[in-house]
Amino acid sequence: MAVWTCRLLRLSDALVYRATAILPRTGAGTSPLGSVLVHCVRTAKTSTWWDEHLTADNVEFLKRDVAEDYSRLTAAKLNPLKDEPWPRHEWEEQSRRVGLVAVKLGMMPMWTKSGDRHVVTMLQVQDCHVIKHMPKDEYDGRSAALVVGAKNVSPFYRSVEYLEKFQNAGVPPKQKLTTFRVTENAVIKPGTPLYAAHFRPGQYVDITAKTIGKGFQGVMKRWGFKGQPATHGQTKTHRRPGSLGPGGDPAKVFKGKKMPGRMGNVYDTAFGLKVWRVNTKNNILYVNGSVPGHRNCLVKVRDTVLPRHLEKNKNPPFPTYFADGDEELPEDLYTEDMFQFGEPLPE
């Protein structure tokens, strides 16, 4: 739907009127206000619905109808009678599993049985599904990949091209889509839900997210420079970087020099974070330490690539945890050395 946003300027008294209307091209220069200068700008709205024709009751009805449609699509996609389930393979040394997309909730303390205090970050897995499987030839020729989406969003204000990505998987549109490299024995059928039980306590994960933007900052905040003396002849150089390079040959500033600039708002990865606890009821992961990003941001969680933690990541749920399997999990899973409230204190 095209919308013409117009500014009407009366030349006599210089009064400015703003109006938004759908105007024909032929009437852009005429107006009943007399001597008026009209300036029109055409903008495009990507809405797939006509807002002015929908009442509050209509919107609620459409939301319920869309939710029911997606529920039927998901059930039909995962129905073993209609579409055979994909084969499941055993875990191997070189296997590479899919990851998760989670929402950062915040931080809290936890204690071990020996009394050590650890600060953990809570990550909730919300509506995480496999969207698409890309074979090796389709992706990059080296490995297969799985597209994973998380956090359902309303389809009202999404483009038709974006909604078509989720039709084959039979799931609602997602806020975040990301790609994970996987081995051939770790592929999962599109439409399969992913849970926090994909990881188990004691495993180590790598978490990627966009850091909090700090704006333009100096070298002391951005790079941790010490700064210059506060007295003894120093004037207006207390927080300056100092020398930027040699003054002779070559007289230049080398590439990569740490200088003031924009800080944050870039993707960063925290490697080797231990999973202390998994809440299977609310799909929450409790990982050690801090995680990039602000609260309520979407993060990417996958098995760590650090060699020193590979031994502790052996035999995970492969290719993922299936809720319809024979294994029934308790509400909370802890590591062996983590203290659980409600138990007697260790002597």
The residues near 157 (Cβ < 8 Å, ≥ 6 apart) are 46, 47, 48, 49
The residues near 330 (Cβ < 8 Å, ≥ 6 apart) are 280
CA quadruple 105, 108, 112, 118: dihedral positive or negative? positive
The residues near 69 (Cβ < 8 Å, ≥ 6 apart) are none
The residues near 136 (Cβ < 8 Å, ≥ 6 apart) are 142, 143, 144, 184
How far apart are alpha carbons 301 and 102 in whole angstroms? 7
What's the pLDDT score for residue 23? 43
What's the pLDDT score for residue 159? 87
- Whether residue 40 is predicted with pLDDT greater than 90 in this model: the reply is no
Query: Rounded to 10 degrees, what is the CA torsion of 262, 265, 267, 270?
Result: 90
CATH code of 100-213+264-334, in short, is 2.40.30.10
Lowest mean pLDDT among 19-23, 119-123, 231-235, 273-277: 19-23
The residues near 216 (Cβ < 8 Å, ≥ 6 apart) are 260, 261, 262, 263
- Whether residue 104 is predicted with pLDDT greater than 90 in this model: the reply is yes
Q: What's the DSSP call for residue 235?
A: -
What's the pLDDT score for residue 60? 85
What's the pLDDT score for residue 11? 44
What's the pLDDT score for residue 25? 46
Structure tokens at 275: 């999973």
Instruction: Convert the pLDDT of each residue in 42-52 to its tens digit.
Output: 666 555 555 66
For residue 345, name the pLDDT band (cuts at 50, 70, 90).
Answer: confident
Provide long-range contacts, Cβ within 8 A and 24+ apart, for 306-310.
Answer: 306/204, 306/206, 306/271, 306/272, 308/272, 309/204, 309/272
Check: CB of residue 130 under 8 Å from CB of residue 189: yes
The share of the chain scoring above pLDDT 70, in percent, equals: 81
Burial 282-311 (b: 16+ CB within 10 A, else e): ebbbbbbeebbbeeebbbbbbbbeeeebee
Instruction: Convert the pLDDT of each residue in 107-164 to its tens digit.
Output: 999 999 988 999 999 999 999 999 999 999 999 889 999 999 999 888 877 888 888 8
Check: CB of residue 272 under 8 Å from CB of residue 237: no
Residue spans per domain, the chain: 2-44, 100-213+264-334
- Whether residue 21 is predicted with pLDDT greater than 80 in this model: the reply is no
- Whether residue 33 is predicted with pLDDT greater than 80 in this model: the reply is no
What's the pLDDT score for residue 20? 43
For residue 14, name the pLDDT band (cuts at 50, 70, 90).
Answer: very low
Note the Cα 300 to chain centre separation in Å.
6
Instruction: Convert the pLDDT of each residue in 273-287 to its tens digit.
Output: 999 999 999 999 999
**pLDDT (average), residues 288-316:** 93
**pLDDT (average), residues 95-117:** 94
How far apart are alpha carbons 325 and 216 in whole angstroms? 52
Calculate the average pLDDT of the chain: 84
Of 101, 205, 187, 182, residue with least CA distance to 149: 101
Which residues, in sequence order, are bridge partners of residue 109?
119
pTM for the full predicted model: 0.78
In single-letter form, the type of residue at position 326 comes to: D
What's the pLDDT score for residue 292? 96
What's the pLDDT score for residue 176? 94
